[in-house]
Amino acid sequence: MRKRYGSLTAVGVAVALALLAPAPAAAQKKEIIQLQADMERLMQTQRELQRTVDEKNAVLKTLVEQSLDAVNKLNTTLGVLQKSIQDVQANSGARIDTLTTQVQALADNLEEVKSRLGKLNQQMGEAQSVLQSLDAKIAGGAPAQPPGGAATPPPSADALYSNALRDFTGGKYDLARQQFLDYLKFFPENDFASNAQFYLGEILYAQKQYPEAIAEYDKVLDNYPKSFKLGAARLKKGMALLEMGQKASALRELREVVRRHPATEEERRARAKLRELGAAAPAPTRQQ
C-alpha cells in the first residue's frame, strides 16, 4: 500500500508541475483534462483497494477470534481429559496392585497344594505304620490308652498356612496376621516360613502402615536369602517407600529388583514403575 500511495503522490506532483509549466492553451487544457481523468481513476482505485484491505482485515480479525476461542475450548477439553486419564490410572494402579496380590496368593496356594501332595504319601505311610502297630497291640491284648492321656498335638503346618492364606485373600487381615505369626512361631524352619513373613508385610501394606510393612519385608530379605519371595519383598518395599515420599530410596530398590530378578513379573513391574517415574532402569544382571 505504501508503494501505491507513493505512486499517487508522484502523479499529483506531476499534475502540479504540468499546471505550472508553460504550454499552449489548448494543449494545456487537454493535458489537464487527461491528468484529472487519470487522477480520478487512481483515486477510485485507491478507494477500492482501501475497501478491500478493510474487508480482509475484518475477516482476518474474525478468524483470529474464532481460532483463539477454539484453542481455549481445546485447552479446557484437554485439561478435563488429562484429569480423567490420571484418575483412571490411579484407580487402575490400585486395582492392579490388589489383583497382583491376589494372584500371588493364589500361586502360593498352588505351590502349597503341590507341597502338601508330596507330603501326603509320606503321612499316609506313617499312618499305615501306626495302624499296623495298633493292630498288633490290640491283637496282643495291650491296654488301651486312657482318655485324656494323649498329649495335644501341635497344629498342622499345612493347615495353619492354608487357613492364614485363605483369610488374607478374604481380607481378614487381623486373623491372617495372627495365623502367620503362629506359623513362624511353630514352624520357623518350614518351607513356607519366608512366605508367612512376606505376607505379614503385605497385611501392613494393605493397611497403609508403610514403615511397619518395610520392616517385615526387610526380614524376608535378611533372614531368607534363598526365598522365592525376595523379588516381591524388594518390589513392595520400593512401593512402600514411594508411598512415604522417599523417592530416591524407592528408585534404588526398584533398580535392585531389575538387577537381581531378571525375567520375572517383579522385574516387569519395577521397570514399568521406573518408566512411570521418568527414571532410567539398569540392565538386568543374572545372579550366580
Q: How many CB atoms lie within 10 A of CB 107?
A: 12
Same-domain status, 5 and 106: no
Cell readout for 60 is 482476518
Q: Look at residue 74 in the predicted model and tell me its pLDDT.
A: 65
180 and 47 part of one domain: no
Q: What is the CATH number of the domain that holds 191?
A: 1.25.40.10
What is the structure's pLDDT at 142?
43
Q: Is residue 112 part of a domain?
A: yes
CA atoms within 13 A of residue 122's CA, in its CB half-sphere? 5
pLDDT for the residue numbered 120: 58
Residues 162 and 277 in one domain: yes
Q: How many domains does the chain have?
A: 2
User: Looking at the structure, do residues 246 and 175 belong to the same domain, yes or no?
Assistant: yes
Per-residue pLDDT at 1 exceeds 60: no
Supply the range of the domain harboring residue 244: 102-120+155-288
**94: in domain:** no
Mean model confidence pLDDT for the chain? 78
Do residues 108 and 5 both lie within one domain? no
Q: What is the pLDDT of residue 134?
A: 55
How many percent of the chain have pLDDT more than 90? 42
User: Mind listing the pLDDT tens digit for each residue in 153-169?
Assistant: 667 899 999 999 999 99
Instruction: Indicate whether 287 belongs to any domain.
Output: yes
Q: How many residues does the chain have?
A: 288
Tell me what the mean pLDDT of segment 117-134 comes to: 53
* Whether 106 and 214 share a structural domain: yes
Is 214 part of a structural domain of the chain? yes
3-state secondary structure 162-188: HHHHHHHHCCCHHHHHHHHHHHHHHCC
Tens digit of each residue's pLDDT (9 = 90 or more) over 232-242? 999 999 999 99
CB atoms within 10 A of CB 24: 9
More confident residue, 67 or 230: 230
Least confident of 17-26, 34-43, 54-63: 17-26
Whether 85 is in a domain gets the answer no
Regarding whether 113 and 35 lie in a shared domain, the answer is no
DSSP string for residues in 82-93:
HHHHHHHHHHHH
82 domain-assigned: no
- The span from the CA of 11 to the CA of 33, in Å, is 14
> Is residue 130 a part of any domain in this protein?
no
Same structural domain, 181 and 280: yes
pTM over cut 0.85: no
Based on the fold, state whether residues 38 and 175 are members of the same structural domain: no
Cell numbers found for residue 55 = 474487508
What's phi and psi for 24, nearest 5 deg?
-60, 150
78 is a domain residue: no
Residues 5 and 116 in one domain: no
* 42 & 161 share domain: no
DSSP 8-state symbol, 264: S
* Statement to judge: residues 111 and 250 lie in one domain: yes
